Amino acid sequence: MQQKSQKAVIYTNQSPNYMQFTENHQIPSPDNKNIIIEVYSAAINPVDYKLPYIFGFTIKNNIVGYDFSGKITYVPPHITQFKVGDEVFGMNKGTLAEIIKVQPDSCVLKPTQLTHSEAAALPLACQTSLQSLRSYGKLIHGESDVLVIGGSGGCGYYGVQLSKILGAKSITAICSSKNFDFVKNQGADFLHDYNSPDGMLPKNKKFDIIYDTVSSPEDFDYYPEGVKLLKNEKSVFVAINGQKKDWVRKGFSKVLGNWVQKKQYQLMLLGQNQKDLSDIALWAKEGKIKSIIDSEYGLNQEEVIQAFDKLKSRRVVGKVIIKIKQ
Alpha-carbon gap, residue 187 to 161, rounded angstroms = 6
User: Which residues 6+ apart lie within 8 Å of 50 measured at CB?
Assistant: none
CA distances from 123 to 45, 67, 88, 116, 298 (A): 11, 6, 11, 12, 20
Of 154, 165, 168, 128, whose CA–CA distance to 269 is shortest?
Answer: 128
Q: Output the pLDDT for position 317.
A: 87
pLDDT tens per residue across all 326 residues of the chain: 467 899 999 999 887 788 999 999 999 999 999 999 999 999 999 999 988 877 777 789 999 999 999 999 999 999 999 999 999 999 999 999 999 999 999 999 999 999 999 999 999 999 999 999 999 999 999 999 999 999 998 899 999 999 999 999 999 999 999 999 999 999 999 999 999 998 999 998 999 999 999 998 777 899 999 999 999 999 999 999 877 777 676 666 666 666 666 779 898 999 989 999 999 999 999 999 999 999 999 999 999 999 999 999 878 888 999 999 97
Delineate the domains of the chain, giving CATH numbers in brackets.
5-122+291-323 (3.90.180.10), 125-267 (3.40.50.720)
CA distances in angstroms from 317 to 113, 173, 232, 305, 326, listed in the order given: 22, 14, 33, 18, 23
Phi, psi torsion values for 243, nearest 5 degrees? -75, 160
Helix, strand, coil distribution of the chain in percent, nearest 5:
30, 25, 40
pLDDT computed for residue 250 by the predictor: 65
Contact 160, 183 (CB under 8 A): yes
- What pLDDT shows up at residue 1? 47
Task: State the pLDDT at residue 141.
Answer: 98
